[in-house]
Every structure is written in structure tokens, then in C-alpha cells.
Structure 1
């Protein structure tokens, strides 16, 4: 696809889950490993995942979600979309208290497209660590290196 499609895809999140899922082929695979979402192939399930992002009620604590494109690389078969995301008026995110703790993160989504220009495969990756750091999650500013564990003295 192209940059214009990437903008259309990101804008669709603010419209409705129906608008966003219409951009996916009937035969697709979706994954967001950060949220432990793998192998989603049903548009109803995908729509339920995306419902949150179309929230327009600033008083319900779900937040109003803003996406901004940072770049697109690809062709008619596949593409990588770099994006930035941050909610406004959000009080809870993945079980964490984020009330009055604004945050923004960056991520990227890889798409594969069919001949009709619909998404047949998606994999999204984003920075959970920057969110934890921005909301003041204990220890987020001093993460333990991977593979290192504390050894009792």
C-alpha cells in the first residue's frame, strides 16, 4: 500500500471498530505481542480489541486515543507503519492507574496486503517501557538487564 493508506488506517481507529475492520481481508491474522494477542482471525474479535480506540466519551475513563503517523515504508504487498499514540482523559490502561498521568509511546505495525489492498497479516509492536516510565511505575526508570537476576547475599 502507501503512506495515504497508513493515514487512513490510523484515522479509522478514531471512527469505529467497523471502519477499521473493513480494512482487513476476511482471511487475516492479527497479533499484538505486547498485549499477548496472537493468532486473531475473527473480525468480531478484532473489532472488540479496537472498540477502545474509537471511544469519544472523555468522562468514562477509557480515554480518547490519538494516533499520529511517523513514517511508512513499503509497497503494494507489505508495509511498515511507524506511529505515535497517546490517550487523553484515560484513567486505566492495562490495569494500571494512569489518571492524570499523560503518556505517549511510539510503535510500528507491519502489514501484508492482498491484491485488493486489504490487510491479511498484521503485527504491531510498541514501547511499554516508556509508558511505565512516564506514569511513574516503580522501577521503570531503572530496569534490570535481561538475563540478570538478583542473587541473595
Structure 2
């Protein structure tokens, strides 16, 4: 596929779960290991996962989810989509209170496509640590790279 398909895929998240599912072949495998979602092969199950991201109600606590493409590398058979994600007005995320705690993360999704350009395999990975840091989750700290002089002095 191409950059235009990647944009179409991300825009479908804001439209509806059905719009997203239409981009998948009937025979597909979806995985998001960060959310412990493995080997999903049923479009009904896939739709239930994606319904959250098409929420448009800012009052229900589910949040309005904004995705933006950062890049695409690939061809007609497979591709890697780099993206960023920011929810607005979310009250809960992965069981954590995120009310009035804005966050942002980046991730990438690998796709394999069939001859009709539909997704047959998807694997998504994203930085949950950035979210936990942004919402002030205890025990999560960014790794710090020591200053060049500190490294040189240790030798």
C-alpha cells in the first residue's frame, strides 16, 4: 500500500469501528501486545476493540482520540506506519484515572496486505511508558542518558 492508505486507515478510527474493519480482509490476524490482544481473527471482536477510538462524545469519559501519521515505509505487500495518538477528555485508560491528565504517545503498526489491498496481518506497538509518565503514575521514570563528561570520567 502507500502513505495515502495509511492516512485512510488512521482517519477510519475517527469515523467508526465499521469503517476500520472494512479495511481488513476476511482472513486476518490482529495483535496489540501492549494491550494483551493476541491472535484476533474475528471482525466482530476487532470492531469491539476499535469502537472506543471512534467515540465523539466528550462527556462520556471515553475521550475523543486524535491520530496523526508520522511516516510510512512499505510497498503493495506490506508497510510500517508510524503514528502519534492523543486522546482528549478521557477519564480512564487501561484502568487508570486520566481525568484532566493529558497525554501523548507514539507507536508503529506493521501491516501485511492481500492482492485487493486489505489488511491480512497487523501488529501494533506503542510507548505506554510515555503515557504513564505523563499521568504521573508512580514508579515510572524516563531513562536518563548520562552527560558525556560523566561517561568519560567513569572510564
TM-score normalised by the shorter chain: which range applies? over 0.9
Report the equivalent of 1:62: 62
Secondary structure at 1:56's aligned position in 2?
coil
Query: How many angstroms apart in 2 are the aligned matches of 1:110 and 1:27?
Result: 17
User: Is the Cα–Cα contact under 8 Å of residues 64 and 89 in structure 2 kept in the other structure?
Assistant: yes
- Which portions of structure 1, spanning 4 or more consecutive aligned residues, are displaced by more than 3 angstroms? none
When normalised by structure 1's length, the TM-score is: 0.92
User: Is the Cα–Cα contact under 8 Å of residues 108 and 125 in structure 2 kept in the other structure?
Assistant: yes
Secondary structure at 2:117's aligned position in 1?
coil
1:50-105 superposed Cα distances (whole Å, 9 cap, x missing partner): 00000000000000000000000000000000000010000100000000000000
Note the aligned Cα RMSD (angstroms): 0.8
Gaps of 5+ in 1: 144-153
Report the equivalent of 1:101: 101
Gaps of 5+ in 2: 144-155
Report the equivalent of 1:75: 75
Query: How many angstroms apart in 2 are the aligned matches of 1:121 and 1:37?
Result: 13
How many residues are paired up? 143
Report the equivalent of 2:16: 16
User: Is the Cα–Cα contact under 8 Å of residues 2 and 79 in structure 2 kept in the other structure?
Assistant: yes
When normalised by structure 2's length, the TM-score is: 0.91
Secondary structure at 1:59's aligned position in 2?
coil
Instruction: Map 1:1-153 onto structure 2 (within 5 A).
Output: 1-141=1-141
User: Greater share of helix residues, 1 or 2?
Assistant: 2
Larger radius of gyration: 2
